[in-house]
Structure formats: C-alpha cells, structure tokens
Amino acid sequence: MYTQSFSVSDQDDAKSAGQTASLVAVPKQASASEQALQAQFDERIDADGRVEPREWMPDAYRKTLVRQISQHAHSEIVGMLPEGNWISRAPSLKRKAILIAKVQDEGGHGLYLYSAAETLGTSRDQMLDALHTGKAKYSSIFNYPTLNWADVGVVGWLVDGAAIMNQIPLCRCSYGPYARAMVRVCKEESFHQRQGYEALLVMMQGTAEQKAMVQDAVNRWWWKCLAMFGPPDADSPNSAQGMRWGIKRISNDDLRQKFVDATVPQAKVLGVTLPDPDLKWNEERQAHDYGQIDWDEFWATVNGNGPCNKERLGARVKAWNDGAWVREAALAHAQKQQARQMKEAA
C-alpha cells in the first residue's frame, strides 16, 4: 500500500497514447548508407525494440542518453551526502545499519549508471570532470539540508518515492544498458522508500515532539519533491524528443500527478498533513488537484544557488581529490600485474 507499484500500465506509454516514434530528420547531406541506418533505427524504435551499445544510433540520441544517464549518476552520488551526514548520528544500531546499507546502495546506483553511460563512448573521468566543474546537472533535491532525524525518514519516503515513480518507466527505456540498470535500481529504491516510511511510522507513534518533527520535515520537503520531476511539460525542452525515442515513457507532469495521487493516502495512514491548501480530490479528473510549485526557486537551485549547492559540490570535489592516491595505486598495481602476465606469456 505504501510503496509505488513496480509495473507501469501500457496506457501510460506515449506510443500507446497514439504518438508516433517519428524522429529528428536525417540531414539532407547524409549518405545513402547513413539513411539506411537511420531507417533501421527508426523502425526499431517504432517497434518498441531495444538499442544496444555497438549498434548504430543517431548522434542526438547518443548525446541525450549521455546527458540524462550521467546526470542521473551524479544525482545518485551527490544524493549520498544529505543522508550520509546522519550515519554517525542514527538513533539506534538498527537504524544505523539500515542507513549505511541505503547510502551504499546509492553509491552502487551511481556505478551502474556511470557504466551504462560509458557504453556510449564517454569516459567516467569526462563525466566526473563535468560534475566537478559545475557544467553537469544533478537533481535539485539534493541541494536542501537534512536538519534532523525526521528528514532522513522523509527523504526515504518522499525523495526515494519520487525517484521510483520516475525510474520505473525507465526500466522500459529503449537503450538496453540503461533499462537493465534501472531494474535493479528500482528494486533497491523500493526498499529505501519503505525503510523511510517505516521510520516515520515509528516516530508518529512517539511523543508530541517527535510527531512535530515529522510534520515539520514533510512541510520542508513536499514542494521540493514535486519539483524534482522537472519543469511542466510545456516548459520541458527535452521531453517530446525523449519520449519519441522511447527514453522517457511518461511526461514530467504525468509522473508528478501519479506521485501526488500515490502519496496522499500514504500521508493519511502516517497521520501527517501535506502542506498544500489546494490539494483536493477532483472527481471529474479522478486525480488530485494541487497548488502552484515555485519554479523560480527550482531554477535558482538548479542553477547553483540553492541552500547547499556549494557544500555538495565542495564535498564531491574533496572526495575526488582525497581519493587520487587510491586511483593511482590501483592503476600502478594493475599495470604491474599486466606486465607480469605479459612476461609470463612471452
């Protein structure tokens, strides 16, 4: 009841909704063989097939995937920071063990995703350089502080809940390595969401002070989680093409709506109020209406001016610099081993 389902109905699929998979036009000067490859690719996408690393793909498709997958990978490893802060302050051994496992999972998600992006010909060093120099984006949500233990529960419930909602459709992404990585990621995110919700359920059976902490954390995170799904469809420059290519399957607004509809009953069971006076069931739409998201704040955060942007980027750059000797030692060891193997083989 309190997690997002692991299946997506075909009705939500852009293609089943009647859109065609027609793609960016092939440049006029393309050779006959390029046009044939493009036609083959289009046919594969139209038939809802998978594209694999060594197969031909248009440059724009490759570029879009590198952009989205690397941003996703960056979000996972930056996302380790707000919760990682709480490992040493978890209220019990059980909560500490769960939190360590969760934060470690997020690091693993980063690894699968960097590996998936590398199959497109961009190196991990290039992607990390883009993150460290502020050229690459990562999810806006990780630029907000986790002020107390209730925030850790709310990040699990709402942030991971929003992440699963967005990521389940990506299990059917047209690019094979991304889709396969997402299957495992979603299973782990489901555990993350449940552990957060369960931690909050326990707090909500506690003292008045604990209950107030949960409500305060929900008040601070709710709107940021709604913004996480990205700009409204009308202002989303990448959505239409991403959906025609079968990379994105459900639009930003539709995912946001699904998240609201799934979360309202969960909030009721928990006993918290979602901080939106306009939130109400719309019988006609069979969905909840909700209030205005502050998009100015969202863009300010995406563009580097959120409350924790500098701290988050600083922590990643420091971890990279502090780890230089480990990378150098691992490389030297691998080179030594390779030289020994070659000597033995000679």
In the bound state with ligand FAQ, the residue whose beta carbon lies nearer, of 44 and 244, is 244
At residue 73, φ and ψ (nearest 5 deg) are -60, -45
Q: Are 116 and 181 spatial neighbours (Cβ–Cβ below 8 Å)?
A: yes
Q: Are 250 and 186 spatial neighbours (Cβ–Cβ below 8 Å)?
A: no
- How near is the Cβ of 276 to ligand FAQ at its closest, in Å? 19
In the bound state with ligand FAQ, the residue whose beta carbon lies nearer, of 38 and 195, is 195
What angle is formed at CA 59 by the lines to CA 228 and CA 66, rounded to 5 degrees?
35
- How near is the Cβ of 209 to ligand FAQ at its closest, in Å? 26
In the bound state with ligand FAQ, the residue whose beta carbon lies nearer, of 117 and 211, is 117
Q: Are 164 and 189 spatial neighbours (Cβ–Cβ below 8 Å)?
A: yes
- How near is the Cβ of 64 to ligand FAQ at its closest, in Å? 8
In the bound state with ligand FAQ, the residue whose beta carbon lies nearer, of 58 and 242, is 242
- How near is the Cβ of 108 to ligand FAQ at its closest, in Å? 11
Q: How is residue 223 written in tokens?
A: 């709107």
Beta-carbon count within 10 A of 76 CB: 23
Q: How is residue 187 written in tokens?
A: 């299973």
Dihedral in degrees, nearest 10, Cα atoms 104, 110, 116, 122: -140
- Contacting residues toward ligand FAQ, per CB under 6 A: 67-68, 71-72, 75-76, 79, 106, 137, 139-140, 155, 159-160, 163, 166, 228-231, 236-239, 242, 248, 252, 302
- How near is the Cβ of 48 to ligand FAQ at its closest, in Å? 19
- Closest CB to ligand FAQ belongs to which residue? 79
In the bound state with ligand FAQ, the residue whose beta carbon lies nearer, of 34 and 50, is 50
DSSP per position, 55-72: S---HHHHHHHHHHHHHH
- How near is the Cβ of 144 to ligand FAQ at its closest, in Å? 12
Interatomic CA distance for residues 158 and 172, integer angstroms: 23
- How near is the Cβ of 216 to ligand FAQ at its closest, in Å? 20
Interatomic CA distance for residues 287 and 282, integer angstroms: 5
Q: How is residue 58 written in tokens?
A: 């248009």
In the bound state with ligand FAQ, the residue whose beta carbon lies nearer, of 159 and 270, is 159
In the bound state with ligand FAQ, the residue whose beta carbon lies nearer, of 3 and 71, is 71
Question: How many residues in total does the chain contain?
Answer: 346
